[in-house]
Amino acid sequence: MAPGIDGLPAAERDVDVSGPVARFLATTSPRVLTRLRLGLRAFEWLPFPWRFSRLDPAAQEDFLHRLERSRLSLHHDLLLMAKLFSTLGYAVTPQVQDRIGFEIGCARADGSLPEPAGSLGDTEPQGEGEECDVLIIGSGAGGAVAATELAEAGLDVLVLEAGGHYNRDNYPSDHLEAISELYRDAGLTIAEGRPPIPVPVAKVVGGTTVINSGTCFRAPDPVLEDWRQHFGISWAHDLDADFAEAEETLHVTQLDPERIGRNGQLAMEGAAAIGASGAPIFRNAGNCVQCSSCPFGCEIDAKRGMHVSYLPRAVAAGARVRAGVEAHRILVEDGRAVGVEAAVVIGSAIRSQLRPPAGTRSFTVRARRAVIVAGGALGTPELLQRSGLGGRHVGRNLHIHPACWVGARYDEEVRGWDGVMQSFYIDQWEHERVLLEATFTPLAFGGAWLLGAGRDHQRAMLDFGHVGSIGVHLCDQSSGKVGLGAEGSLRASYKLTAADARRLAFGIARAAEVHFAAGATEVYPNIARVGVLKPGDLAQFEATTFKPAELRLEAFHPMGTARMAADPGEGACGIDGAVHGTTDLYVADASLFPTSVGVNPMMTVIAFAKQVARGVAEERASSSSRQISSVS
């Protein structure tokens, strides 16, 4: 896969790739690992009667080129899998990064470090369990904000997080270890279907806000109106104050177009050239001007993830946070949620997932007032289903914002890793449910999408500094579901419709149009049978119909799997976030969204969590008043 050319080291001969990747893959769930083993076995025997590993290097490279030219989607899927894992292990080595000139870093405009975040106290779970007024399961944008609202309202709040606690003092420096430590299933959670779509989500204190791009959009008004009108969410248009408070807390700032980096500037110039509307992105990172470490945790914590913003505030108000505690089953007595049965990984809450845990021990939490589930749109339905709660709507209605990477080559040097990772948006085609965002991913992730195999792929990697990229982001009408596999593990599936596939192809064409208007010499639409687009190829591309299975997609925004609706027949939760059928059980995360929100969802999750938490606090206050009245 990487024979070594023009100063690049050869995999295995000069740098160890297979060893670190094998250790990395061993951290995934049994279900994911089984799928990977099947794929690797198929790849190994595809040259039957020979085995790929036993071919000589020239025959191996010839075989890879034949896969690339094949008309079979299975061949392209297997080749992409091989490129993904070989590139992941290869591109993180210092020798490769030095030769390409690739650097990861984070910096503020004045070169200073942000003030240290407040303490989270002792996050290590002690003993066999704890008690609290309100138990919150999950510490991302929903759980952290709910904890802050409730702790500041005077309730005794306990937050459980399955992952470890990290910040700028201890993020793993090894990128493979960082992915294993900070992501669920080492970032390999897959929504099964045609095509299968990776949906990487976090498993760390602070949730996905620790590893996301930091992009902050308010929910679009038409979406909120749809939720009000069709799902009975009466308060959907009453979120401005919540958005404003969150923007202040998170230091949300619009990027300076002079400092966003060349990748964002090219998207901005291309959009202006064709008259497409757009603007620099708003981010929760203050005056951060260099940001390429986001997927591995912000090196200086300039990005205000929940672990350095709302959670310290919640702890200052009396909340407790416990890391390394995985909830297994919600406890229900007489129809009321009263706590959770959980397991603690023995040892520190900060542990290397590249080494097996020493074991687990039971941990039980009792909640006097309420249980709030905020494990995200994958984790929340998983826990509810494991507990037999929530009814038939739990796990359905999965939306994910399917997205694809559209790269382009420029004669000028782009160095997309300089500046801000996600920097400029183009909303000209919102009526087609398409949003474009100039997004440059690190070499370890983006390198696998480059064209070619063997030496050709290495030449493309050497040219990485001349590549610009735009993400095509779909407000999907397609949907999927989350369930439990036979062994009790998470199973997600998603069916991309032909209509949404057409919208994505339209978005790819618009991204290509922006690239060409900005001066790109060729565009990579990430569709195997197209390969490369030249400036005169767009009309033919747009006249072509692509099957859903031909698209190479990923997704970062799961939502909708415990849908909120005034009518119990339409959703799993009421408009107060309460789970139908169980008293004192609530949801406070993107699972509540009735439909796809269409933009990066963090700010909408925060606003929904505030609504839910205020309702819980008010219910507690009214309950206390009733008790006082009855005594008097």
Question: Which residues are identified as catalytic?
Answer: 557
**Interacting residues of 111 by C-beta distance below 8 A, sequence separation 6+:** none
Can you read off the two tokens belonging to residue 108? 């503020």
Residue 56 three-state SS: coil
Strand partners of residue 253: 283
Closest by CA to 1, choosing from 77, 73, 98, 79, is: 79
Helices (H), 135-280: 141-152, 175-182, 221-231, 240-249, 262-274
Can you read off the two tokens belonging to residue 586? 């609530």
Written as one letter, the residue type at 261 is: G
In angstroms, the Cα distances linking 461 to 57, 456, 530 are 19, 9, 20
Q: In the chain, how many H helices and how many E strands?
A: 17, 21
Closest by CA to 92, choosing from 186, 11, 165, 166, is: 11
Count of Cβ atoms closer than 10 Å to residue 59 Cβ: 13
**Interacting residues of 558 by C-beta distance below 8 A, sequence separation 6+:** 199, 201, 376, 377, 378, 398, 399, 400, 492, 590
* CB 267 within 8 Å of CB 438: yes
* CB 88 within 8 Å of CB 296: no
Query: Any idea which residue has 């061993």 for tokens?
Result: 26
Can you read off the two tokens belonging to residue 166? 């990290």
Strand partners of residue 329: 341
Can you read off the two tokens belonging to residue 302? 């300039």
* CB 549 within 8 Å of CB 195: yes
Can you read off the two tokens belonging to residue 255? 């990027």
Query: Any idea which residue has 């925060």 for tokens?
Result: 606
Helices (H), 518-589: 538-542
Distance CA 497, CA 482 (A): 18
Closest by CA to 407, choosing from 453, 470, 474, 472, is: 470
